[in-house]
Amino acid sequence: MKIRIPKITVPKLKEISVQAPEIKLPEVKSVKLETPGVVTPEIKKPTIAPVHIKKPAIAPISFKKPVIVKPKVKLTHYNFGIEIVNENMKEKKLTIAIDGFSSCGKSTVAKELARKLGYVYVDTGAMYRAVTLYCMRNGLIADDGTVDEAALRRDIEKIGISFIYDPQTSKNTTLLNGEVVEDEIRRIEVSNKVSYVSRIDFVRAQMVKLQQDMGRQGGIVMDGRDIGTVVFPNADLKIFMTASPEVRAQRRFDELTAKGEKVTFDEILENVNQRDYIDQHREVSPLRQADDARVVDNSQMTRDEQFELILKMVDEAKEANA
Ligand code: DC
């Protein structure tokens, strides 16, 4: 491969420090010049963003055979506008697991994070809610929460759960067998029953399988209760979110009353406590913090403070993965 680059003093490239642990030069796809002229090899803040140089260049550069460079620092970006496109150096897309108690703002953070990083967001709670709604509609769950497990087991493969995902807003719309049920699954009647369904082993096995399929490629932010422990035990970043039950109940109360639902604070607090108990004490995949999870208690944090903290964690995870 030969590439011509005008007005580039190649030896100055020596002054560039590179951070990637290993760069296979033959995999460089293109070298183009964005700002033709004097090369000032002053390095900007190192970044792992792939670099593009737009205009053809004169200085011949040839890579005759695979050359492995093992530089000290990662580099792809420097201030004279040269970028090297190297598929190898493309930033690894992380798998981010966000677990924690109900109503502590996991999905808000996860959505915001996915939008910021250009990742996909998956709300696994919505999946258990959709199965619960299916049970309610088909008479598979009694008022006291008893589930007709034999019937549900027969039906489980037929319960189609899918999402319409909007990457601009990270909004996930949940579909149950093709029908939009996004609002219905958030209703208090479903919230009150979902723990009885989500504790059933074959329901969890089926959901975990679907979740692992969705996250196989990385570049995903998934929130739930068992993401860092069961679904993606090797996630690049695990966050465990929590807040006091009262703070969480207040948030859910505000959310539901804003939607016009007639609920009382005490009713919501009771639901929060009850779900915490069931989530933590169920036999299959109880809610617990993964040993390597980072804890975020947002009882006293503003949304901005929390997001800033989480972005810092993401940066650290990226560093660790670079
Ligand atoms: O996050 P949420 O409140 O929408 O979740 C609804 C219920 O689903 C919650 O009571 C716990 C359960 N759940 C679970 O058991 N495992 C998950 N990965 C996600 C949710």
Q: What is the pLDDT of residues 65-84, one digit of tens each?
A: 434 444 433 333 333 333 33
Answer for the pair 128, 176: CB distance below 8 angstroms, yes or no: no
Evaluate whether residue 277 is within a structural domain: yes
**Residue where a domain stops, chosen among 69, 90, 111:** 90
Asked if residue 213 and residue 73 are part of one domain, the reply reads: no
* CATH number of the domain where residue 185 is located: 3.40.50.300
Asked if residue 284 and residue 269 are part of one domain, the reply reads: yes
pLDDT at 214 over 50: yes
pLDDT of 5 = 52
Other beta carbons less than 10 A from residue 184's beta carbon: 17
Query: Which atom of ligand 1 lies nearest, measured to the CA of 103?
Result: 3
Asked if residue 214 and residue 140 are part of one domain, the reply reads: yes
Domain span at residue 128? 95-320
Evaluate whether residue 294 is within a structural domain: yes
Asked if residue 295 and residue 187 are part of one domain, the reply reads: yes
Evaluate whether residue 33 is within a structural domain: no
Asked if residue 178 and residue 299 are part of one domain, the reply reads: yes
Answer for the pair 288, 229: CB distance below 8 angstroms, yes or no: yes
∠ CA 136-139-144, nearest 5°, is 70
Evaluate whether residue 191 is within a structural domain: yes
Evaluate whether residue 157 is within a structural domain: yes
- In a 3-state reduction of DSSP, which class is residue 141? strand
Evaluate whether residue 215 is within a structural domain: yes
**Residue where a domain stops, chosen among 67, 90, 113:** 90
**Residue where a domain stops, chosen among 90, 105, 135:** 90
Protein residue with its CA nearest to atom 2 in ligand 1: 125
Evaluate whether residue 12 is within a structural domain: no
Residue 112 — very low, low, confident or very high, per pLDDT cuts 50/70/90?
Answer: very high
Q: Which helix (H) or strand (E) holds 208?
A: helix 201-214
pLDDT of 305 = 95
Q: What is the mean pLDDT of residues 105-112?
A: 92
Q: How far does the centroid of ligand 1 lie from the alpha carbon of residue 309, in Å?
A: 24
Provide the β-strand partners of residue 296: 241
List all residues 6 or more positions away from 315 whose beta carbon is below 8 Å from its beta carbon: none
Asked if residue 203 and residue 64 are part of one domain, the reply reads: no
Q: How far does the centroid of ligand 1 lie from the alpha carbon of residue 168, in Å?
A: 25
Asked if residue 215 and residue 300 are part of one domain, the reply reads: yes
pLDDT of 59 = 39
Q: How far does the centroid of ligand 1 lie from the alpha carbon of residue 91, in Å?
A: 31
Number of domains, the chain? 2
pLDDT at 302 over 60: yes
Q: How far does the centroid of ligand 1 lie from the alpha carbon of residue 26, in Å?
A: 47
Asked if residue 198 and residue 76 are part of one domain, the reply reads: no
Lookup: tokens for 52: 């593009």
Sign of CA dihedral 220, 108, 166, 135: positive
* Mean confidence (pLDDT) of the chain: 78
Asked if residue 82 and residue 109 are part of one domain, the reply reads: no
Protein residue with its CA nearest to atom 20 in ligand 1: 125
Asked if residue 124 and residue 77 are part of one domain, the reply reads: no
What distance in Å separates the CA atoms of residue 66 and residue 235, rounded to the nearest whole number?
Answer: 32
Measured in whole angstroms, the distance separating CA 137 from the mean position of its chain's CA atoms is 31
Task: Give the binding-site residues of ligand 1, using a 6 Å CB cut-off.
Answer: 102, 124-125, 128-129, 194-195, 198, 224-226, 275, 279
Evaluate whether residue 243 is within a structural domain: yes
Q: What is the mean pLDDT of residues 147-171?
A: 90
Lookup: tokens for 120: 């996909």
Asked if residue 255 and residue 207 are part of one domain, the reply reads: yes
Q: How far does the centroid of ligand 1 lie from the alpha carbon of residue 21, in Å?
A: 39
Provide the β-strand partners of residue 174: 163
For the chain, the straight-line distance linking the first and the last C-alpha, in angstroms and rounded, comes to 27
pLDDT at 17 over 60: no
Determine what percent of the chain is predicted with pLDDT higher than 70: 72
Answer for the pair 129, 188: CB distance below 8 angstroms, yes or no: no
Asked if residue 153 and residue 135 are part of one domain, the reply reads: yes
